[in-house]
A = this chain, B = another copy of it.
Amino acid sequence: MNERQRIAMLARVLSRAVPGVTVGIGDDAAVLDGSGTLVWTIDEQVEGVHFRRTLVGFRDLGFRSLMAAASDVAAMGARPWCALCAMVVPADVDDATLEDIATGQSEAAQELHAGVIGGNLSRGPALSLSTTVLGRCQRAIRRQGAHTGEGIWLAGHVGLAAAGLRALEAGRGEEPRLQPAVAAWRTPRALVQAGRAMGLLATAAIDVSDGLACDLGHLAEASGLAAVLEEAALLEDPLLAAAAEALGASAIELALHGGEDYALVATSAAPLPGWRRIGQMREGRGLALRTGAGERPVEPLGFDHFA
């Protein structure tokens, strides 16, 4: 297919009516009725950096590219509304592969009750998917705003996706007990319902894309406070425990520093419905882990594209 035919195919795969969207794919720009508070993000998945084709299928790749971007919207307490997807496509990506990617994007959009309403298509040296998502909310929950004494709450898993990536890299992606971890890495979910459940209770929130220590570190720094995590609470996850045991890996290291789970972490004085309490905010700076043997500092290490 030429560019025009490819765009027509993408429009067909991605087409979906979205309330408030007046014009979707096929014009210079999409047209929206923007009334209310909007949150807006862009995320990019680059071949050789965020994924390798040997580890993830193209349909899953499309799915995860949209979910990863939507996760930023969920972390603000907003509902994903619509997305634009810019794809850079090298010569060895054929039409069927491109359709697989779009199918995964479309599946993610449907699961999110959102729509892909435009994008851009370009050739280039490596496959790359840029996804921008607009979301709507009553009140956007920022990284800053946590108070001393508030609980630290977690929605979703931390460390599981990193365990899944390790399993795939070790060629053990087919082992049954590693399946939940592999799925966590390949087809993450933006935790929109959990984000909405923050309601008026949460004072600060962030999504965990680079690892809990790294991202909670951002929240703590933005709020001018320290965060103390409870080791026992982080180890309560049976899926993480099983994957770590199968891999001979440290569950607590995976939980603290494993990325790409797209879990949500928030601070709140009161329990957040459906979330787990994993620690507490206090005066000071930095992160600590409270274990049976006392407390130890935790470095806010995560993935750094340029370190």
On A, residues with C-beta under 8 Å from B are 1-4, 6, 22-23, 26-44, 46-50, 72-73, 75-76, 78, 84-86, 88-89, 117-126, 128, 130, 132-136, 140, 142-143, 205-207, 222, 304-307
The residue among A22, A86, A142 with the most chain B CB atoms within 10 A of its own CB is A86
A205 cross-chain contacts in B, Cβ below 8 A: 28
A122 touches B35 (CB 8 A): no
* Given A40-B30, A40-B32, A305-B3; A46-B140 close (CB under 8 Å): no
The one of B29, B76, B86, B143 that contacts A44, using a Cβ cutoff of 8 Å? B86
CA distance A307 to B89 in the complex (A): 13
| Given A3-B305, A6-B306, A130-B86: A40 and B49 interface contact (C-beta under 8 Å) | no
A31 contact from B22, B30, B76, Cβ within 8 A: B76
Separation of A40 and B30 alpha carbons in the complex (Å)? 5
Given the known interface contacts A42-B132, A84-B132, A142-B23, the answer about A76 and B29 at a Cβ–Cβ threshold of 8 Å is yes
Q: Is the CB of B38 within 8 A of A34?
A: yes
Q: DSSP majority for the A interface?
A: strand
Q: Given known contacts A84-B40, A120-B42, A140-B23, is B75 in contact with A28 (CB within 8 Å)?
A: yes
Known: A31-B38, A47-B125. 11 other contacts (CB 8 A): A3-B305, A22-B140, A29-B72, A29-B73, A29-B75, A40-B118, A41-B118, A43-B86, A43-B120, A46-B122, A46-B123
Please name the 4 residue pairs, one residue from A and one from B, whose CB atoms are nearest each other, closest first.
A34-B34, A130-B130, A29-B41, A34-B38
B residues less than 8 Å from A132 (CB atoms): 42, 84, 86, 130, 132
Give 17 pairs: A residue, B residue, CB < 8 Å, sorted on A.
Answer: A3-B305, A27-B76, A28-B143, A28-B206, A29-B140, A32-B38, A32-B40, A34-B37, A34-B38, A34-B136, A40-B118, A42-B119, A44-B122, A48-B125, A49-B123, A49-B124, A125-B126
Complex Cα spacing A46 to B119, Å: 15
